[in-house]
Structure 1
Amino acid sequence: HSDQDLVILVSVGGWVRGTQVVSAAIMQNYDERSAKVLRQPALVSFIHSKVNDISPELRAEPLVKDVNEQLIGIEKLVSFPAGKSPNVDEVRKVNAAVGKVMEAIQNKTDAK
């Protein structure tokens, strides 16, 4: 696989993990201003487009396909209206969605 493909996948994993940590922190100490940071539809759309740019062979890998499909749902979860903070339940949904992706990535890594 090309270095560019691997850079994209590592970046996706980093964003997913970062979003998991941030959303967990917001859930523990909910604050409307802090919660606004989770509004990232353009970023998720960009990440999704970059995953679509990787080689067809790698994109066909079950884990990559799964993560790519889950990004569509995550994009919807982080697309609340501009200027509106997600409520605690919406933050919890984002956290659960990225947690599911992290679990899939970790299970794949553990299986090797």
Structure 2
Amino acid sequence: MSFSLEQLDTLNDELRRALVSEHWERFSELNGQIQPTVDRVMADLRSGDLHSGAVQERLETLQSLCNQAREGAEQAREAARIALKDVNRNRQATRAYHNVQDGPAG
């Protein structure tokens, strides 16, 4: 197996671990390694050092991981949006309660 394909396998494994643990910051860090790693694999494929089937399989895995991460990040973002909305609602309720407790000013 070529070194570039091993690197892609390692990257896919690390992306999978970040995805499973929902470690979005780590996934984002690893995202920066995707293009250079794929570029090396594609160069080896063009030079005939790799079989296209092996490359296609790994790239499909990579695409699947990225799609799952996007979906997971969207779900996390939606959960955060809902939580922030709840915090704001609670803050407004607390303000209203304090206004009632303080009584009319005057």
Calculate the TM-score normalised by the size of structure 2.
Answer: 0.42
Q: Which structure has the bigger radius of gyration?
A: 2
Calculate the TM-score normalised by the size of structure 1.
Answer: 0.40
Q: Which has the higher contact order (CA 8 A, sep 6+)?
A: 1
Q: Hey, which of these two has a bigger chunk of helix by percent?
A: 2
